[in-house]
Amino acid sequence: MQPNSLLEELSQPGQTKMVLIVLDGLGGLPVPELGNKTELEAAATPNLDELAARSSLGLAYPVMPGITPGSSAGHLALFGYDPVKYVIGRGILEALGIGFDIKPQDIAIRGNFCTVEKKGSELVVTDRRAGRPSTEHTVRICQRLQEEIPEIEGVEVFIRPVKEHRFVTVLRGEGLDARVKDTDPQKEGLAPLTPEPLVPEASRTASVARKLLEKIAKLLADEPKTNYALLRGFSRQPGLIPFPERFKLKAGAIAVYPMYRGLASLVGMDLLTVKGETLADEISTLKEHWREYDFFFLHLKATDSRGEDGDFNGKIKVIEDFDKHLPSILELKPDVLVITGDHSTPSLYAAHSWHPVPFLLHSRWVRAERETGFNEYTCARGMLGQFPLLYTMNFMLAHAGRLEKFSA
């Protein structure tokens, strides 16, 4: 019997309230400019530190030691789904995140507008994010492309804006398969890759994707920056058993970025409307719906964004801002509160890394640390030890009194 299937069998309904707060990319590495402290160590976090002394701490591996996870892998683990068993493409997450009406056989693809230049006989990517254009600019570009490319080879093409340089393409038609190679070279100075089928069944999808890129390049040739596109995450609906059904919970998701709304939607959580884009707006949404749900997922993106930018001071400021807002969450008196990340994004590394993430578990039933401080090093000494992030729901359900006793 797999651990998560046991969890499903033991789960039972209840009245307790749970909050899972994901500070995206939370974990860091010692930064020389910060006196060899991590961002968490360097940040002024009196509220987190005080809470840590009344909580249990640990370090969690999103997938397994040494493996660098994508965001979907980390979040699936947090939600109790084995990230190795369920590999989810970014395309389906982006499509669900913007509320696109995905059909079971649709192929969804995440797109990045980018900047390319011709060097010799080939195109070279000079900016993978096209200078991070405004979302309004991307909306106009997508509308133009949609009007000009309604179909390719009998396959319907849907092109929708997401945020900044990101967009999503959905292909709808017969004989499509999502097993197609991404076209993003992942680094500037390299040529865009060609969408190639990974299996013979995906040949038609790859052909449509190649023609799509040709048309995009022609239509955007006069654009100074958004003059090409990179495609990644060819995917379709994976057919997961819904989170509320598995764990007998009514779950609400509070996230601003479409991908994370897509992840929550993928597992069957209700997407709650956030009137704004700040942490304060998200907390207002939490308070507004507090009586309606017994499980909340609240996501904060900026820790990851600053880490990917190599901006350790910016990441510190995001952590300190969260700390200032923490008391308003604690005022709600959740029965179980978890604060963690989906992966580490050290600003020193400026990318996702394989390092385990700090993990804080608070409830009336914890073995408290009695030691002030929430960072990678206090968590390494914590009561919870080191464990797979997949066991997050085990901890939360147990501390919420939602699991029956196992065996005689």
Nearest to 62 by CA among 387, 351, 315, 295: 387
Task: Report the distance separating Cα 164 and Cα 160, nearest Å.
Answer: 12
Task: Report the distance separating Cα 354 and Cα 280, nearest Å.
Answer: 30
Torsion sign over Cα 333, 337, 342, 344:
positive
Taking the alpha carbons at both ends of the chain, their separation in whole angstroms is 17
The pLDDT of residue 4 is: 66
Task: Report the distance separating Cα 97 and Cα 89, nearest Å.
Answer: 13
The pLDDT of residue 285 is: 98
Torsion sign over Cα 65, 403, 22, 1:
positive
Nearest to 220 by CA among 207, 229, 211: 229
Phi first, then psi: give them for residue 241, nearest 5 degrees: -70, 130
Query: What are the 10-residue block averages of pLDDT along the chain, 408 residues in total?
Result: 75 97 97 96 97 97 96 95 90 88 93 91 90 93 96 96 93 95 92 95 97 96 94 90 96 93 92 95 98 98 95 97 98 98 97 97 96 93 97 98 93
Nearest to 53 by CA among 45, 61, 62: 45
Question: Do residues 392 and 384 touch, judged by C-beta distance below 8 A?
Answer: no
Question: Do residues 177 and 202 touch, judged by C-beta distance below 8 A?
Answer: yes
Burial of 324 by CB count in 10 Å (0-12 exposed, 13-18 middle, 19+ buried)?
A: middle
The pLDDT of residue 109 is: 96
The pLDDT of residue 1 is: 37
Task: Report the distance separating Cα 231 and Cα 3, nearest Å.
Answer: 35
Beta carbons within 10 angstroms of residue 41's beta carbon:
20
Phi first, then psi: give them for residue 108, nearest 5 degrees: -105, 140
Q: Which residues lie across from 359 on neighbouring strands?
A: 58, 340
pTM of the model: 0.85
Beta carbons within 10 angstroms of residue 376's beta carbon:
23
The pLDDT of residue 133 is: 92
Question: Do residues 31 and 347 touch, judged by C-beta distance below 8 A?
Answer: yes
Cα angle 66-70-76, degrees, rounded to a multiple of 5: 100
Beta carbons within 10 angstroms of residue 162's beta carbon:
24
Q: What stretch of H or E contains 116?
A: strand 107-119
Rg (CA), the chain: 22
Question: What structural domains does the chain harbor?
Answer: 3-87+239-399 (3.40.720.10), 95-235 (no CATH)
Task: Report the distance separating Cα 122 and Cα 228, nearest Å.
Answer: 13
Question: Do residues 229 and 243 touch, judged by C-beta distance below 8 A?
Answer: no
DSSP state of 39: H
DSSP string, 284-323: HHHHHTTTT-SEEEEEE-HHHHHHHTT-HHHHHHHHHHHH
Task: Report the distance separating Cα 402 and Cα 211, nearest Å.
Answer: 52
Q: Which residues lie across from 117 on neighbouring strands?
A: 124
Task: Report the distance separating Cα 311 and Cα 154, nearest Å.
Answer: 46
DSSP state of 32: G
3-state class of 167 per DSSP?
strand
DSSP string, 191-233: PPPP--BSSGGGHHHHHHHHHHHHHHHHHTTT-SS--EEEEEE
Residue with the two structure tokens 């990319």? 25
